[in-house]
Structure 1
Amino acid sequence: MTIEDCLPADLRGPTTTLTRIAAGLSGAAVYRVEAAGQSFVLKIAGETENHADWRGALPIQRLAADAGLAPRIVHVDEARRAVLTAFVTDRSFKTFYGDPRTHEAALTQLGRTVRRIHALPPPADAPMRDPRGLLAQVKHGLLGSFALPGFAGDVVRRVLAEDPLTHERVLVLGHNDLNPTNLIYDGEAILILDWATAGPMDAFYDLAVLSVFLRMNEGTSLRLLSAYEDEQLVELPKRFLYTRRLAAALAGAFQLYFARQMKHAGATGTETPDSTPSLGEFYQRMQAGELKLGTPDGHWGFGLALLKESLAM
């Protein structure tokens, strides 16, 4: 089988070109496709990606695409677990959000976009996503056999010991991975990529992930939630504050897990919250080329920065 075999017959031919543009942590391969005078994106699931999970995520991606929340789906090859979508030129969500002239418009649109995601009807057989339970699983796998800084284990244990406020839980269809790499801006709308882990979950989790990764202070987080609720809130709900700590701890724990998978040596015994770069400092080091995700040191540094962030919340 060739990569081109994943395309529909009318897009195969001598003038078709495929250029690999990304590889996800799941092992998925992503290609830009030029065919018939048009551009597309082809994503092929990795060998380690669970087939049932892939099939379960597909109808959610279709829902999102039909609602204009994700790029249009052009073709699906279920046997090869390949999805071809329209190519969307990214006008840079990072610039839209980071430019002071457009920041508030971007923040408002972001909150409303999440609201539209959560308004989608979840498929009846979609598995519930439980970030807290997942953190407990990662904790079990990490803390017993990997040398972690003391504060890292303390952060995870603290979050799991807290009252998760389940009595206030409202389940919606959530994306579950709204980190900035999954956000694109086409000049008019914010579109969301990678729906592999979407499913019914706490309504605040997507918002908490955005708050963490975009380094929102409490005022900015409050404006995000106000845009989401379409009403002016005067304080951040306790469940959101808890979920933000949970989101930072889970993301950090996963980054340490990736570092371990890539044979990182683990803690040296000198790591403390004070010696650990903040999330903002980690981003600066990435921009300077000093650290890179996809490497053991990159995942290790990112994980510790996220856990430090959770500790400070």
Structure 2
Amino acid sequence: MTVEDCLPADLRGPTTTVTRIAAGLSGAGVYRVDAAGQSYVLKIASEAEDEADWHRAIHIQRLAADAGLAPRIFHVDETRRAVLTAFVVDRSFVAFFRDPRTHEAALAQLGRTVRRIHSLPLPADMRMREPREFLVQIWKGFLADFALPAFTVGAVQRVLSEEPPASERPLVLGHNDLNPSNLVYDGESILLLDWATAAPMDPFYDLAVLSVFLRMDEGTCLRLLSAYDDKRFTELPNRFIYTRRLAATLAGTMQLYLARQMKHAGATGAETPDSTPSLGEFYQRMMSGALKLGTADGQWAFGLALLKESLAL
């Protein structure tokens, strides 16, 4: 099978160009397709990806696309498990969010967009994804015998020793991976990529993930929740505070797991919170090219920065 075999017949031919963009963490292949004067994105599932999970994710992606929350779907090849969607030129939500002139508009739009995600119908046969259980799985399984800095061990143990505050909200369909790389801003709308981990979730989880990756202070978190609920928040709910800590810890632990998969040697014994760059400093080093995600050192540094961040929350 060639990549072009996954395209609809009218987009195949000598003038069609296919360029590999990336390989997702799941092993999926992602390609840009230029054909018939238009650009598309083709994503082909890896052979290891569970077929039932793939079908559930495509169902949710269709719901999101129909609601204007994901790029338009042009073609689905169920046999080859390939999806062709519109190529959306990304005008950078992070730049929109960081610009003082547009920051408040970006924050309000982000809150409303998450609310729209959570308004999508919950598939009846889906099981809730429990981030705390996933953290335990990674920590006690994949990282059990990996050399880690003492402060990262303390960060994980802190979260796992806490009793989660009771949730007062019903489960919603959560995206569950709202890191900035999955946000595409076309100049008007925020669209979400990669719906593979979408599942029933506590609504605070998506909001907490955004608050961590976008380095929101307390006031910004309050305005995000206010935009989400369309009512003013004057203090952060205990459940949100806990979930934000959990989200930062899980994200950091996941990055350390990826670093190990890429053959990172682990801790040297010299790593401390003071010697570890903050999340903001990590982003600066990444933008300068000093660190790169997708490498063992990049994933390691990202994981340490996120776990350092979790200790401050």
Scaled by the length of structure 1, the TM-score of the pair is 0.98
Within 2, Cα distance between the matches of 1:305 and 1:17? 39
1:121-163 residue CA offsets vs partner (Å, 9 max, x unmatched)? 0111122111111001011124421011111111111111111
Within 2, Cα distance between the matches of 1:154 and 1:50? 34
Within 2, Cα distance between the matches of 1:97 and 1:126? 33
Paired residue secondary structure (2:43): strand
Deviation at 1:36, TM superposition (A): 1.5
Deviation at 1:52, TM superposition (A): 2.1
Equivalent pair of 2:215/2:280 in contact (CA under 8 Å): yes
Paired residue secondary structure (1:204): helix
Q: How does 1:42-121 map to 2 (within 5 A)?
A: 42-121=42-121
Residue identity matched to 1:16: T
Residue identity matched to 2:111: G
Q: Structure 2 unaligned segments of length 5 or more: list them.
A: none
Paired residue secondary structure (2:257): helix
Equivalent pair of 2:254/2:303 in contact (CA under 8 Å): yes
1:160-202 residue CA offsets vs partner (Å, 9 max, x unmatched)? 1111124535310000000000001111110000000001011
Within 2, Cα distance between the matches of 1:169 and 1:108? 21
- Give the aligned partner of residue 21 of structure 1: 21
Within 2, Cα distance between the matches of 1:9 and 1:126? 34
Which stretch shows the higher mean deviation, 227-236 or 89-98?
Answer: 89-98
Identity %: 76
1:16-55 residue CA offsets vs partner (Å, 9 max, x unmatched)? 1111112212211111111111111101112332222211
2:259 maps to 1:259? yes
- Give the aligned partner of residue 202 of structure 2: 202
- Give the aligned partner of residue 176 of structure 2: 176
- Give the aligned partner of residue 193 of structure 2: 193
Residue identity matched to 1:26: S
Equivalent pair of 1:11/1:35 in contact (CA under 8 Å): yes
Within 2, Cα distance between the matches of 1:52 and 1:285? 39
Equivalent pair of 1:143/1:153 in contact (CA under 8 Å): no
Deviation at 1:81, TM superposition (A): 1.2
Within 2, Cα distance between the matches of 1:312 and 1:220? 16
Q: Structure 1 unaligned segments of length 5 or more: list them.
A: none
Scaled by the length of structure 2, the TM-score of the pair is 0.98
- Give the aligned partner of residue 244 of structure 1: 244
- Give the aligned partner of residue 156 of structure 2: 156
Equivalent pair of 2:143/2:257 in contact (CA under 8 Å): no
Paired residue secondary structure (2:176): coil
- Give the aligned partner of residue 126 of structure 1: 126
Equivalent pair of 1:173/1:199 in contact (CA under 8 Å): yes
- Give the aligned partner of residue 230 of structure 2: 230
1:231-280 residue CA offsets vs partner (Å, 9 max, x unmatched)? 11101101000000000000000000000111110011111111111101
- Give the aligned partner of residue 138 of structure 2: 138
Within 1, Cα distance between the matches of 2:11 and 2:304? 45
Q: Could you say what the CA RMSD is over the residues aligned between the two structures, in angstroms? A: 1.1
1:195-237 residue CA offsets vs partner (Å, 9 max, x unmatched)? 0000101110000000000000000111001000001110110
